Structure 1
Amino acid sequence: MALTAGDVGNVENLPAPQDAPVRLVPPPALERASAEDMQLTHLGLRPVEEGAYRAALERPSWTVADFARRIGMSLAKTEELVGRLAELDLVHTSGDRSRLRPVNPQLGLTALIARREAEMVSSWHELERSRLAAANLAADFDSANRTHIDGALDVAHGPEAVRARIAALVSQAKTEVVSMMLSGSGYVDPVAMPRRGDLASPAPGVRFRTVAMDRARQDPLTLRHLNNSVTDGVEVRTAPEVPMSALVVDATVAVFPLAPATTRHRVGAVVLRLPSVVITTVELFERVWTEATPLDQAAGGRDAPDERERELLALMLAGCTDESAAGKLDVSVRTVRRLVADLMERLGSRSRFQAGALAAERGWISAQMLRESTESR
């Protein structure tokens, strides 16, 4: 148990309830725990929240009044703290909020870790968009003042100029060309990988790789472009989300599309040779490429579960038996056991619970699904 000194009240004279003894921890012990035991701050928990959660785990359920005595806080502050833990899905409260039940750490913290990972990925994508915005701003300055800055940046305006610039760069490639494209739903990415016929005798042995959005598979125009790229010898994959549009040649030069607002809504592209920008773009591409699915395979790959399998994984993580899961999914127990065995094999797990935890880490199970599965046990 660990709370900050400001949150610890005078608990010595508070009577414990008659129906269940409440163990009180002296303030010095709480202060020592605050300094030594707080390990969940990176998941978004303040020390006082982590301390309260640790205390809640001492019993399967509490009245809020009992819990207030346990942690040495006023009833009002305890109710506020319990509300915060409920928002984090670390405790469940009764309808009138007079009682609370702690969630198993393997369930609650796994979901919290998955949520935090999703937030970190989103933050990384926002950082990359900001980096691209900075490049657009630099290009806008260059367009208004000069057409070249120390050999590090140049700009092309208009679709023909952009295609010619990209074709010229790719034709000069010696080792590899990689690209991330956002084409789909009628949108054509201005810095998409060019067709082999547009290139002037590319060097032999150059590797070409491109990754597009999964939605591109549903857009006839984009899918035709991707299939043509495969015919040209390009390795093509798709991912649920591609954070930005970019093309990199030999890990030394990167091309980004210009925002329409900076080009009076004409197609435009900026070419950068700044090592920090190029290296970061390549690293981002490799992250997306590793998780992407080859074009000739179904999006999501074999491992991605369908909706019923997601529900079953949530029930597995909640500790439901095969019989209980079969009833909730309206299938036979035999079907549940077959699905469980298949999911465990696909996830490489040693137990049913571990399979559910791994699924949560991959983002296959939402917090809402976890909550509903736990409450329905």
Structure 2
Amino acid sequence: MIGVFEPGSDSARVYRALVSHPGTSPAQLAELAGLAEPRVRRALAELGRVDMVTRSGETWDAQRPDVVATSVLRGFDAWRSTVRETEEELMSLFRFARTRDSRSLNVEVLDSPAETFAVYEQLQDAVRDQVRGIDRPPYYWDEAELARQEQRQLEQMAAGIAYRTIYQESKRDSPLRSASMMRTIASGEKARILREPPVKLTITDDQAAILALDPPPGAEGSLVVLLVHPSGFLDTLIRIFESLWRLAVPADVVDADQELSAGDREILSLMASGATDDAISRRLGMSRRTVVRRAARLLERLGASTRFQAGVQAAHRGWL
């Protein structure tokens, strides 16, 4: 279609001749356009397929140029939209493929589950302070490996290493993983629950991370696992973990009695709306001291450190 507006093309020359000389035969058009008649007939057939010319017996006429231009521009807009969508898809694949050569991010690609397990063991040996993790499906450890890793974690915690883990809320889909989680929590692991954690992640101290990435649509293979060394990228992963930790729900809250009294529900709703203790006291007709005490108990029950966080977690649990 765009050929109509490309000077010198057969379509443009034939169409221009028809604009100036309506009701013209192919032989006459060949003379007017300076083309051989077979080329004129091919151009007319092409233009006719997209309704830019009309035929009446042995003569032809041009569709209105403004109608043709609108049709061309509409097609170009659709083409441009397709190009943009394809660009986004290809760029996603481009970036994904080049994670294998992301030296600027100070990362290595771990090519197999066996290599991932081996690196995880090395990081466990080197940890001195804390391990932070985001645990979500899919799981690749069999029962024996899971038991071994659980025992290793229990030994590390007994030696004073702190563990904080964000689990996916669908933990019940894996009975073995759920049972292991409950045992590590009982032994001192700090655990929280998030409905849909974005990645699988383990951070040891502030020195290294193992990050598992789901491939984008159209990419071959399954997870890509990266070992991230000290870098701005690692710092970003640490900040992401801490942000998700603040928004996640403490694991003991998820399985606890979730009934609230009407008074606590009112206090929680007002807290989430940003009301001060004095405002809540006046609204509910209770002393400020009582409001402070009950608000503190609600924060503790939700495992929240701020009222905003308490509101997010309460809404997540269906308390508001």
Query: TM class, shorter-chain normalised?
Result: 0.3 to 0.5
Select the structure that is richer in helix: 2
Q: TM-score, normalised by structure 2?
A: 0.45
Q: TM-score, normalised by structure 1?
A: 0.39
Larger radius of gyration: 2
